[in-house]
Amino acid sequence: MTSVLAFDLGASSGRALIGTLQGRHLVVEEIHRFANEPVQVGNRLHWDILRLYHSLKQGILKAKHLGYTPASIGIDSWAVDYGLLDSSGELLGNPYHYRDTRTDGVMEQVLSLLPREEIFQHTGIQFLPFNTLYQLVAEKQHNPQRLAQAQHLLMIPDLLRYFLTGEIKSEFTNATTTQLYNPALGDWDPHLLTKLGLPRHLFAEIVQPGTIVGRLQAPICAELEVPSVPVIAVAEHDTGSAVAAIPADNDDFVYLICGTWSLLGTEIRDALTHEQVLQENFTNEGGVDGTYRLLKNIMGLWIVQECRSHWEKRGVTLSFEQMVQEASSASGFVSFIDPDHLMFLHPSDMPALVQAYCSQTGQPVPQERGEILRCVFESLALKYRYVYERIEALSGKRFSGMHMAGGGIHNRLLCQFTANALSRPVWAGPSEASAIGNILVQYRTLGQIAGIGEARQIVRESFPLETYVPEEQGQWTEAYKRFLQVTGLGKR
């Protein structure tokens, strides 16, 4: 049986997983888990990219020690962040973290030079202050010497793949997230690059998911005592990989990839760049087989993770299960937040920010941990309904329910709240969607899977789904009305 090695990197941790296809059944085994902790240096926030690369090598070693000889390797990660290489291929400093404050106010500066409509027509991408476009403008302002030295820009999985292979290529799904890719041209947008004064030579050739981009370099093979195997550019944006693993049985489905971020959308054949999509600030990110993911980024469980971090610094260690239990015990429908308010973007005293939002909007201020968490979980579910309704309006389709995948589905309370808020069933699973999609794209490249339809069928047959049926629909409908009112979303 052929096995493949997948690296799935999230905003707080990474994993190495072995996938083994046994007939029509996929077995996934996590063999290595490692922290991915951002590093604060002065006022700047960075990724520890060399530690991540070291962890990849440790994952390759773990596979060898466990007796696996993977036929290929693939990497997926978060989007928008990048590394710069000089003319000799050396890395010019640690990549910045997308939550670094250097981009504060930059999007507004760019929009004073280029109309929002013009940027959207060229890219179809949601306006977020940390998009690669604004990071590069910030780079030009704060570190022009480094940008002048740079010869190549590589997104995080492109960069790690380069360390493994020595090959410089940009992968499609991650390239689309930069807000510098033009879906009509199928390439980097020359107009925006010229207008912003960004050098075209930085941007590498774009390859589609499933492209073999080099093999493990000889020095790595010698160091680790492993054979040189192909490294495949999978759907390297983790959401792109996760959507490839959604176990839908037809082409019309809505998904919610739930983790640090929540990504809610549907799969379409061509990017939608008309006025209504712009007004709703939706995005068109690349998918497998040249598809696009019409979706909305929602702040997600980041708020909960930051609350936990804040309490841990004060000596209170809580598991996620304990936090869910405390939320379950608190009274419902007391106060709401808009999870996407920019006040929640940066690392901070998140419980205090939740309280401040409630105070500023004239609502009861949650005091206990359970009350704060209940407020966040209910608000997330209600924001999911808000975005779900807009997906239906933009796509012109009515969906029968929603597929929910990613690590967030372990939070059964949030899954049930989501079904309640939508008044539609929620089908939860698989939790390891990004890694599974990564693995399946590798198998397709190796010729063992015919296409994405067969891949999704394998997911249905290999991983259980849990169905959540809507409850308390009248209470949730009333809560949604209040949520729209206090957040101001009802006025948009």
Distance in angstroms (rounded) separating the CA atoms of residues 438 and 232: 9
Task: Identify the residue whose tokens are 């597929």.
Answer: 403
Beta-carbon contacts of 155 under 8 Å, excluding residues fewer than 6 positions away, are: 79, 80, 81, 82, 132, 170, 171, 174, 175, 178, 236
Give catalytic status of residue 238 as yes or no: yes
DSSP H helical segments within 254-349, as ranges? 275-279, 302-313, 320-329
Distance in angstroms (rounded) separating the CA atoms of residues 88 and 152: 10
Distance in angstroms (rounded) separating the CA atoms of residues 87 and 107: 29
* Closest listed residue to residue 305, CA positions, set 343, 259, 237, 257: 259
> What letter represents residue 227's amino acid?
P
Distance in angstroms (rounded) separating the CA atoms of residues 62 and 54: 12
Chain-centroid distance of CA 470 in Å reads 27
CB 263 within 8 A of CB 226: no
Catalytic, out of 158, 238, 338, 340: 238
Angle CA(45)–CA(435)–CA(338) in degrees, nearest 5? 55
CB 407 within 8 A of CB 413: no
Total Cβ atoms within 10 A of residue 110: 20
* Cα 241 to Cα 118, 233, 234, 396, distances in angstroms: 29, 11, 7, 25
Antiparallel, parallel or unpaired: β 262-268 and 254-258: antiparallel
Phi-psi region of 249 (alpha: psi -120 to 50; beta: other; left: phi over 0): alpha
> 3-state class of 307 per DSSP?
helix
Distance in angstroms (rounded) separating the CA atoms of residues 101 and 348: 12
* Closest listed residue to residue 411, CA positions, set 428, 423, 425: 428
| Residues of the chain by 3-state class (helix, strand, coil), percent to 5 | 45, 20, 35
C-alpha torsion angle, residues 428, 433, 439, 442 (rounded to 10): 100
Residues annotated as part of the active site: 238
